[in-house]
Homo-oligomer: A and B are copies of this chain.
């Protein structure tokens, strides 16, 4: 019961973003050597504030161990459970260019419950091939396949000009959430969830910080 409540407790978006980062770091440690880890250590390794680490971890797990720290094994298990639990989501991806292939081949997603089961494209030289063992089908098969298999997530890696059109098809397919890599703002009905992955935004930050830094140094 208490366990279940935790799941529905709303966790802040910022915390949620950091959880995979903790998990990834903890998994990189040698579990033979390190049995226990403390928030100051985690904070230092990831360049975060130690209170923030404790607060984040407190949001997903019950009971810490004052004086000693956290049991590494247990902490990993808790994060794994939280991030993976109930998230067995099947996804499809439209647009099998370089980026589409990179995502289809990426191994890390299933750790978070995402399983990209098939790709779609319009290019006849690509359709019928396989990428990392996953079939590439013609785009006009998408609606029927997604409906039949009750797919919830669609990933868009097509060029800008085709993104809205593909998005419409996905909505017609009954898809509920869209992970959009095309740099366009998609028009969707209110009940559809869109997450834009915006490279230009990231670059703008990096580039301005760098510029400020260089100008400071002169």
Contact = CB atoms under 8 A, between A and B. Distances in A.
A126 interface: no
A54 interface: no
A206 B184 contact: no
A96 to B, nearest CB: 10
A203 interface: yes
A176 interface: yes
A46 B179 CA distance: 16
A1 interface: no
Interface residues of A, number: 62
A112 interface: yes
Contacts of A215: 8
A211 B87 CA distance: 7
A214 interface: yes
B204 A17 contact: yes
Interface stretch (A70-78, A103-111, A134-142, A166-174): A103-111
Q: Which 9 A-B pairs have the closest CB atoms?
A: A98-B102, A20-B200, A99-B102, A98-B101, A17-B201, A177-B210, A195-B206, A87-B207, A98-B98
